[in-house]
Structures are given as structure tokens and as C-alpha cells.
């Protein structure tokens, strides 16, 4: 005969209160999240711009249509449409998979990291300004007049919402390689004694190769250009598809590495992000371990992303990026020429210097440079 332990009188009532309060809190949080998503979709539906809608700050009024002085990759003129639709489809699949895995393993660290990688997209306009990343005006984009968005040299496209696929992807092959090496090596080997360093090294190599392949293809397809690069360490220098190989492919791993290292589980079974979150004191953090872990991830990724931008800002301040992408491939937009380098190379105007071309760039505005009659970009 089995007996059921009696529950002390009043116990159920005392525990039901906090549980009910947490349920109400979750409902309110989900409701607020739903409202925020609705407002974002609403804003997108009413404000997204296509390539034929540019503000006077960016638009070149003397050009009608979208002529392209650069032959597209393989002669295909539909790359922008294909890449944008591909991004929408891929992100839809990612969202569906995220919901499925969240229901199966809610608050899993990888899912939290996916949210953190997506959240840092708000910094993208700044990170387009720093390395002279000029996007194709034909892309679906936010209005150029919005304050944060206006920091991008030309437009801020919607395709950047695929950050999670870019920054988190190198973690998976790096983690698989690390586990395989650990299985084949003794416990006193380097991969066991220094797993985080090993993980960082693997992500650096994988991320470097991954970024190079992805960006070279995207630039050749016409998605964007690096309008100015340092000649040393760059490839295809002076071409419309020039790429700062050493600088970009290395700096971008500053975000990939912490995104992967924070997910490494040690012998305690906890990830590095969870262990850091446990160090935060206070009842609020103790009662919300998953939220605290997400905040730790987000904060560290923002710092890492800021270091990426700082690296390019130093290049910008030094005025070492002297090689321009010729010819300028987006004639319907004014030539982004904050330092007058395009004019010195003979690229016809009109020019514009963009936002943050004062003390932020260690400048006092665009220098008064006359267009050279000859040079790499001269049409004559």
C-alpha cells in the first residue's frame, strides 16, 4: 500500500502566489514583446524604401534610373532581388527552427546567443560608417533620414538582420573540431588544458575563411563596396570589388570568437556565459538566470563589435585608406567622398561626405578638392 506525503496546511497557497506572479509577469513580458514586434513590422511596412526612393542627401539628381558602370557577376542583373529574397527565406527558416528548439529546450544557451547576435544589429550603421561600407541603393532599406540609420554612408539595408547566421555559424564547426581533438588527445594536452584558447584559434581560422568567401562574393554581386581601403593587406585594390582582406576578415572575428567561446561548456556542465552571469549579485539576477545570461552575452558582443569599429575608426583617423573603388558603381547616388580621395582620382561628382565627418572622423568636414582631370577613376 502506498501512502502520499501530506502537504503542510497552507503550503500550496503560499507557493501558488509567487508562481502565479511569475506567470503573470511572463504573460506581460510576452505581450510587450508581441507589441514591439508588431510595431517594428508596422514601421517596416510603412517606411521601407526601394532603390528609386532616396533622400536629397544621397540622391544624384542628374542620373535617372539605375545605370551600372560595372558589369555584375556572371552578367546577372538580378543579384539584389535574389539575395534579398534569399535572406527573407533563410531568416524565416531560422525563426521557425528557433521556435521549435525553444519549445523543446527553452532558454538554451545557443538560442540565447542567437538572440544576442541578432540584437547587436542596431550598431550596424556605425559599423558601416567606420570601414567606408557603401551599400547598393537598390536594396530594401530604412529611410536615410532616420537619425541612427543616417550614419550609414548611403543606405541601411534590411539584409543585415541575418547577423545570427554570420557571427554564430563558425562556432559549430569549431566546437566539433575541438571535441574531436579532445577525444583523441590525453588530458594533459594543450586542447584540454587550454580549451578556450583552442576554441578561439579555431573560430579565427574558420571565421577568416568564411568571411572572405562570403564578402568577396557579396561585393562582386554588387551588394556593397568598401569605397576606401588600405592598399596593404587588401585584394583587388582599385577595383570596384576591392576588399580589405587582412583587416576585415581579422577584425570581424572579434565578434565571432566571444560568441563561440561564451558557449563552451566546461566540466561543470555550464557555459562560460552562464558562469559569468552567476557572478552578478542581486536578487533580480539570481531569479532570472536565463535573462541574465542573455544580458551578459549581449553586453560582451557589443563591446567586441565596438572594438571591430574602433579598429576601422583608427584607419579612418589616420587617413591610410587611400585606395578607392573605381569606378563608383552606384551613379544614382552621390559619390561618398568624405576625404576628397575620389575627386583626387578623377571620379566625377556630385560628392557628399555623409554624417560624422567632423571630429568623429578627425576631420573638419570634406576638404575642398577639385576633380582631377586624370586618374584611376577618370572617365575621359
* H-state helical runs in 48-143: 79-104, 109-119, 124-129
DSSP state of 265: B
Mapping DSSP onto H, E and C, the string for 288-354 reads: CHHHHHHHHHHHHHHHHHHHHHHHHHHHHHHCCCCEECCCCCCCCECEECCCCHHHHCCCCCCEECC
Candidates 262, 301, 314, 242; CA nearest to 109 is 262
> How far apart, in whole angstroms, are the C-alpha atoms of residue 70 and residue 53?
22
Cα dihedral 307, 313, 314, 315 sign: positive
| Cα gap 286→136, rounded to integer Å | 46
- Give CA 375 to chain center in angstroms: 34
Give the pLDDT of the chain (380 residues) as one tens digit per residue.
444 444 444 444 444 455 555 566 666 665 666 666 656 655 665 556 665 578 888 888 888 878 888 888 888 888 888 888 888 888 888 888 888 888 888 899 999 999 999 999 999 999 999 999 999 998 888 888 888 999 999 988 887 877 888 899 999 999 999 999 999 999 899 999 999 999 999 999 999 999 999 999 999 999 999 999 999 999 999 999 999 999 999 999 999 999 999 999 988 889 999 999 998 888 888 888 999 999 999 999 999 999 999 999 999 999 999 999 999 999 999 999 999 999 999 999 899 999 999 998 988 888 989 899 888 887 75
**What pLDDT score was predicted for residue 90?**
84
Q: Identify the three-state secondary structure at position 224.
A: strand
Q: Which of 69, 70, 52, 71 is nearest to 60 (CA)?
A: 52
**Coil, strand or helix at 208:** helix
CB atoms within 10 A of CB 272: 21
β pairing state of 351-352 and 335-336: parallel
Half-sphere exposure (Cβ direction) of 270: Cα atoms closer than 13 Å: 11
From the CB of residue 20, how many other CB atoms can be counted at a distance below 10 Å?
A: 10
Q: Is 243 helix (H, G, I), strand (E, B) or coil?
A: strand
CA atoms within 13 A on the CB side of 8: 3
Q: How far apart are CA 28 and CA 88, in angstroms?
A: 29
Q: What's CA 10's distance to the chain center, in Å? A: 52
Model confidence, pTM: 0.85
Integer angstrom CA distances of residue 197 from 111, 200, 264:
23, 5, 11
At 6 the pLDDT is: 45
The pLDDT of residue 49 = 61
207 phi and psi angles, rounded to 5 deg: -65, -40
Phi/psi of residue 277, nearest 5 degrees: -65, -35
Rounded CA gap, 294 and 153, in Å? 31
Q: Which helix (H) or strand (E) holds 142?
A: strand 141-142
**pLDDT score at 21:** 55
Give the sign of the dihedral formed by CA 61, CA 66, CA 67, CA 72.
positive
Q: What is the reported pLDDT for 127?
A: 95
Helix, strand, coil proportions of the chain in percent (round to 5)?
55, 5, 40
Query: What gap in Å lies between CA 118 and CA 98, rounded to an integer?
Result: 12
153 to 42, 59, 133, 173, 356: CA distances (angstroms): 25, 12, 7, 34, 10
Rounded-to-integer distance, Cα 198 and Cα 40, Å = 40
The C-alpha cell of 222 is what?
554588387
Instruction: With CA atoms as reference, report the closest residue to 43 among 138, 123, 162, 143.
Output: 143
Amino acid at each position: 500500500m502506498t501512502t502520499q506525503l501530506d502537504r503542510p496546511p497552507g503550503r500550496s497557497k503560499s507557493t501558488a502566489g509567487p508562481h502565479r506572479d511569475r506567470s503573470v509577469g511572463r504573460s506581460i513580458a510576452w505581450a510587450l514583446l508581441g507589441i514591439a514586434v508588431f510595431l517594428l513590422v508596422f514601421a517596416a511596412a510603412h517606411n521601407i524604401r526601394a532603390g528609386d526612393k532616396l533622400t536629397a542627401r544621397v540622391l544624384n539628381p542628374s542620373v535617372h534610373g539605375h545605370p551600372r558602370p560595372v558589369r555584375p557577376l556572371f552578367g546577372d542583373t538580378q543579384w539584389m532581388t535574389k539575395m534579398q529574397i534569399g535572406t527573407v527565406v533563410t531568416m524565416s527558416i531560422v525563426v521557425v527552427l528557433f521556435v521549435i528548439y525553444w519549445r523543446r529546450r527553452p532558454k538554451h544557451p545557443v538560442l540565447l546567443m542567437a538572440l544576442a547576435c541578432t540584437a547587436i544589429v542596431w550598431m550596424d550603421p556605425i559599423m558601416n560608417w567606420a570601414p567606408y561600407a557603401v551599400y547598393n541603393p537598390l536594396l530594401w532599406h530604412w529611410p536615410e533620414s532616420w537619425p541612427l540609420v543616417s550614419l550609414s554612408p548611403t543606405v541601411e539595408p534590411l539584409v543585415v538582420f541575418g547577423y545570427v547566421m554570420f557571427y554564430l555559424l563558425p562556432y559549430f564547426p569549431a566546437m566539433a573540431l575541438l571535441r574531436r581533438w579532445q577525444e583523441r588527445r590525453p588530458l594533459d594536452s594543450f586542447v584540454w588544458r587550454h580549451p578556450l584558447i583552442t576554441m578561439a584559434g579555431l573560430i579565427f581560422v574558420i571565421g577568416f575563411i568564411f568571411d572572405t568567401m562570403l564578402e568577396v562574393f557579396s561585393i562582386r554581386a554588387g551588394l556593397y563596396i568598401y569605397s576606401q581601403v588600405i592598399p596593404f593587406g587588401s585584394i583587388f585594390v582599385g577595383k570596384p570589388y576591392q576588399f580589405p582582406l587582412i583587416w576585415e576578415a581579422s577584425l570581424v572575428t572579434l565578434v565571432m570568437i566571444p560568441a563561440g567561446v561564451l558557449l563552451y561548456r566546461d566540466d561543470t556542465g555550464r557555459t562560460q556565459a552562464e558562469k559569468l552571469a552567476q557572478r552578478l549579485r542581486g536578487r533580480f539576477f539570481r531569479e532570472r538566470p536565463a535573462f541574465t545570461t542573455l544580458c551578459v552575452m549581449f553586453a560582451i558582443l557589443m563591446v567586441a563589435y565596438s572594438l571591430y569599429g574602433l579598429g576601422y575608426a583608427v584607419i579612418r583617423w589616420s587617413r591610410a585608406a587611400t585606395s578607392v573603388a573605381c569606378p563608383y558603381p552606384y551613379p544614382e547616388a552621390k559619390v561618398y567622398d568624405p576625404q576628397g580621395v575620389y575627386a583626387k582620382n578623377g571620379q566625377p561628382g556630385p560628392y557628399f561626405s555623409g554624417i560624422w565627418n567632423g571630429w568623429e572622423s578627425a576631420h573638419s568636414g570634406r576638404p575642398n578638392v577639385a576633380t582631377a582631370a586624370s586618374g584611376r577613376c577618370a572617365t575621359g
